[in-house]
Protein backbone atom coordinates (compact mmCIF):
# COMPACT_ATOMS: atom_id res chain seq x y z
CA UNK A 1 0.00 0.00 0.00
CA UNK A 2 1.32 3.42 -0.95
CA UNK A 3 2.35 5.84 1.77
CA UNK A 4 1.58 9.56 2.06
CA UNK A 5 4.41 11.89 1.16
CA UNK A 6 5.41 15.42 2.02
CA UNK A 7 7.33 16.84 -0.93
CA UNK A 8 9.34 19.89 0.08
CA UNK A 9 11.05 22.47 -2.05
CA UNK A 10 14.50 23.37 -0.72
CA UNK A 11 15.36 27.02 -1.44
CA UNK A 12 12.84 29.40 0.08
CA UNK A 13 11.15 26.64 2.11
CA UNK A 14 13.74 24.72 4.15
CA UNK A 15 16.54 27.24 3.70
CA UNK A 16 16.77 30.90 2.78
CA UNK A 17 17.09 31.42 -0.95
CA UNK A 18 20.17 33.60 -1.39
CA UNK A 19 20.46 32.76 -5.09
CA UNK A 20 21.89 29.32 -5.93
CA UNK A 21 22.96 28.40 -2.38
CA UNK A 22 25.69 25.74 -2.40
CA UNK A 23 28.41 26.82 0.07
CA UNK A 24 28.33 25.98 3.79
CA UNK A 25 28.16 29.67 4.70
CA UNK A 26 24.96 29.93 2.62
CA UNK A 27 23.12 27.28 4.65
CA UNK A 28 20.64 29.39 6.58
CA UNK A 29 17.66 27.44 7.84
CA UNK A 30 14.20 28.93 7.56
CA UNK A 31 12.58 29.52 10.95
CA UNK A 32 10.75 26.39 12.06
CA UNK A 33 12.24 24.18 9.32
CA UNK A 34 13.47 21.37 11.57
CA UNK A 35 10.30 21.51 13.67
CA UNK A 36 8.16 21.35 10.53
CA UNK A 37 10.00 18.35 9.12
CA UNK A 38 9.84 16.57 12.49
CA UNK A 39 6.10 17.29 12.65
CA UNK A 40 5.71 15.74 9.18
CA UNK A 41 7.82 12.73 10.28
CA UNK A 42 5.69 12.28 13.40
CA UNK A 43 2.48 12.55 11.34
CA UNK A 44 3.60 9.60 9.19
CA UNK A 45 4.65 11.40 6.02
CA UNK A 46 7.61 10.22 4.00
CA UNK A 47 9.54 13.47 3.57
CA UNK A 48 11.18 14.13 0.22
CA UNK A 49 13.03 17.21 -0.98
CA UNK A 50 12.33 18.00 -4.65
CA UNK A 51 14.53 20.81 -5.89
CA UNK A 52 15.37 22.42 -9.21
CA UNK A 53 19.14 22.96 -9.27
CA UNK A 54 19.83 24.90 -12.46
CA UNK A 55 23.00 26.27 -10.83
CA UNK A 56 24.59 22.97 -11.86
CA UNK A 57 23.55 23.45 -15.49
CA UNK A 58 24.71 27.06 -15.39
CA UNK A 59 28.16 25.99 -14.14
CA UNK A 60 27.89 27.76 -10.77
CA UNK A 61 28.66 24.55 -8.84
CA UNK A 62 29.00 20.80 -9.38
CA UNK A 63 26.74 17.92 -8.44
CA UNK A 64 29.37 16.90 -5.85
CA UNK A 65 29.20 20.36 -4.29
CA UNK A 66 25.40 20.12 -4.14
CA UNK A 67 25.57 16.67 -2.52
CA UNK A 68 27.98 18.00 0.14
CA UNK A 69 25.59 20.90 0.76
CA UNK A 70 22.68 18.46 1.13
CA UNK A 71 24.70 16.43 3.65
CA UNK A 72 25.10 19.59 5.75
CA UNK A 73 21.38 20.37 5.40
CA UNK A 74 20.40 16.88 6.57
CA UNK A 75 22.77 17.15 9.55
CA UNK A 76 21.29 20.51 10.51
CA UNK A 77 17.74 19.12 10.33
CA UNK A 78 18.80 16.06 12.35
CA UNK A 79 19.88 18.38 15.19
CA UNK A 80 16.18 19.15 15.56
CA UNK A 81 15.18 15.48 15.38
CA UNK A 82 14.00 15.80 11.76
CA UNK A 83 14.59 13.25 9.00
CA UNK A 84 14.48 13.65 5.24
CA UNK A 85 13.84 10.30 3.57
CA UNK A 86 15.11 11.22 0.10
CA UNK A 87 16.31 14.09 -2.04
CA UNK A 88 15.50 14.45 -5.74
CA UNK A 89 17.08 17.22 -7.77
CA UNK A 90 16.88 18.44 -11.34
CA UNK A 91 20.16 19.83 -12.72
CA UNK A 92 18.73 20.33 -16.21
CA UNK A 93 17.97 23.70 -17.78
CA UNK A 94 17.53 25.14 -21.25
CA UNK A 95 20.50 27.46 -20.56
CA UNK A 96 23.41 25.16 -19.69
CA UNK A 97 27.16 25.52 -19.99
CA UNK A 98 27.58 21.73 -20.05
CA UNK A 99 25.75 20.03 -22.89
CA UNK A 100 24.75 17.03 -20.74
CA UNK A 101 22.60 19.33 -18.58
CA UNK A 102 20.92 21.13 -21.46
CA UNK A 103 17.26 20.34 -21.95
CA UNK A 104 14.45 22.60 -23.20
CA UNK A 105 11.82 21.23 -20.76
CA UNK A 106 13.06 18.28 -18.72
CA UNK A 107 10.29 16.13 -17.19
CA UNK A 108 11.92 16.52 -13.74
CA UNK A 109 12.14 20.31 -13.84
CA UNK A 110 9.26 21.85 -11.91
CA UNK A 111 6.54 22.73 -12.84
CA UNK A 112 6.77 19.27 -14.45
CA UNK A 113 6.01 16.51 -11.94
CA UNK A 114 8.89 14.16 -12.82
CA UNK A 115 10.72 14.29 -9.48
CA UNK A 116 7.50 13.59 -7.57
CA UNK A 117 6.55 10.77 -9.94
CA UNK A 118 10.02 9.17 -9.66
CA UNK A 119 9.98 9.46 -5.86
CA UNK A 120 6.53 7.88 -5.73
CA UNK A 121 7.69 4.94 -7.86
CA UNK A 122 10.99 4.51 -5.97
CA UNK A 123 9.55 4.84 -2.45
CA UNK A 124 5.98 3.51 -2.89
CA UNK A 125 4.36 6.89 -2.25
CA UNK A 126 0.81 8.03 -2.91
CA UNK A 127 0.22 10.59 -5.61
CA UNK A 128 -3.21 11.66 -4.41
CA UNK A 129 -4.83 13.96 -1.86
CA UNK A 130 -3.11 12.12 1.03
CA UNK A 131 0.23 13.60 -0.09
CA UNK A 132 1.31 17.23 -0.02
CA UNK A 133 3.81 19.57 -1.66
CA UNK A 134 5.12 22.68 0.10
CA UNK A 135 6.81 25.23 -2.09
CA UNK A 136 7.45 28.94 -2.39
CA UNK A 137 6.97 29.31 -6.15
CA UNK A 138 4.08 28.90 -8.53
CA UNK A 139 6.13 26.21 -10.32
CA UNK A 140 5.99 24.18 -7.09
CA UNK A 141 2.21 24.54 -6.93
CA UNK A 142 1.91 23.53 -10.58
CA UNK A 143 4.15 20.48 -10.01
CA UNK A 144 1.88 19.46 -7.12
CA UNK A 145 -1.20 19.83 -9.30
CA UNK A 146 0.45 17.96 -12.17
CA UNK A 147 1.34 15.10 -9.81
CA UNK A 148 -2.12 14.98 -8.20
CA UNK A 149 -1.07 16.04 -4.68
CA UNK A 150 -2.24 18.96 -2.55
CA UNK A 151 -0.03 22.03 -2.91
CA UNK A 152 0.66 24.52 -0.13
CA UNK A 153 2.29 27.86 -0.94
CA UNK A 154 4.83 28.93 1.69
CA UNK A 155 5.19 32.70 1.60
CA UNK A 156 7.78 33.02 4.36
CA UNK A 157 7.82 33.25 8.12
CA UNK A 158 7.91 30.15 10.29
CA UNK A 159 7.57 26.93 8.28
CA UNK A 160 6.24 25.00 11.26
CA UNK A 161 3.32 27.42 11.55
CA UNK A 162 2.20 26.41 8.05
CA UNK A 163 2.83 22.70 8.61
CA UNK A 164 0.86 22.73 11.87
CA UNK A 165 -2.18 24.06 9.98
CA UNK A 166 -1.83 21.23 7.46
CA UNK A 167 -1.25 18.25 9.76
CA UNK A 168 -2.38 19.64 13.11
CA UNK A 169 -0.79 19.31 16.39
Residues assigned a catalytic role: 9, 11
Q: Rounded CA gap, 100 and 89, in Å?
A: 15
Q: Rounded CA gap, 16 and 36, in Å?
A: 15
Are 116 and 2 in contact by the 8 Å Cβ rule? The answer is: no
User: What totals of helices (H) and strands (E) does the chain contain, helices first?
Assistant: 6, 5
Pairing of strands 46-52, 5-8: parallel
Q: Rounded CA gap, 110 and 73, in Å?
A: 21
Amino acid sequence: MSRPAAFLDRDGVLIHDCGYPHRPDQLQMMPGAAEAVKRLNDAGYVTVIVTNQSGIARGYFSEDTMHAFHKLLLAELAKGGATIDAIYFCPFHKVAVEHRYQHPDHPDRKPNPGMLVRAAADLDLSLDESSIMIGDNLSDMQAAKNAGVRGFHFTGGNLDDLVSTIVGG
